Structure 1
């Protein structure tokens, strides 16, 4: 009886989990190894752009970013890698940046 109760509780818990978590992770993996990808809309929506650049500062735009470069990247609110910023480690992503990205630095 206890085993059945725990099984039912587990099913009920699984039914309440958000479905978007798996979708977001899948969307982020659509960025090829060695690239940084940006999407024009949040949650990996809109137009996708892929970049394979060496170290430096580059103009970029987007509301979703996936870093598959093997390097650390910093995304900036303003052009020329200036202003508010945050880092995205390799293999990580942001499906909804706090502001539209205007530039990006790739670090060796």
Structure 2
């Protein structure tokens, strides 16, 4: 009886494990010295790649990776205006707080 209880507990524990989705490292990687945006959260959808020239640019996306060597700021409004979030080089946001409308590259 005790053996059956342990077996049942083991099967229940295995069944409770979540199915895992592919990790972000399996997603397309953003090349060095570029900013990449994806049309969907979690680096999904279509990827767009932009150079690291300083300035303010219209951009769109729900995921952003900054590999520029510079800090970038993503904005909720066009023309680098309104709510914003800084993303340091080497970092990314898998799900921005709002759809990105513009982006500034500093430096």
TM-score, normalised relative to structure 2: 0.78
For 1:54-89, what per-residue CA distance to the aligned partner results, in whole angstroms no more than 9, with x for missing partners?
Answer: 110000000000000000000000000000000000
Between Structure 1 and Structure 2, the one with more helix by share is 1
Unaligned 5+ runs, structure 1: 1-11
TM-score, normalised relative to structure 1: 0.77
Aligned partner of 2:23 in structure 1 is 23
For 1:12-36, what per-residue CA distance to the aligned partner results, in whole angstroms no more than 9, with x for missing partners?
Answer: 9xxx69945x712443x70000100
**Against the structure 1 CA distance between its residues 17 and 33, is the aligned structure 2 distance closer, same or farther, given a 3 Å change threshold?**
farther
**Runs of 4+ residues deviating >3 angstroms:** 16-20
Unaligned 5+ runs, structure 2: 1-12
**Against the structure 1 CA distance between its residues 78 and 24, is the aligned structure 2 distance closer, same or farther, given a 3 Å change threshold?**
same
CA RMSD, 1 decimal:
2.0
Bigger-Rg structure (1/2): 2
2:94 and 2:84 map into 1 onto residues whose CA distance is 15
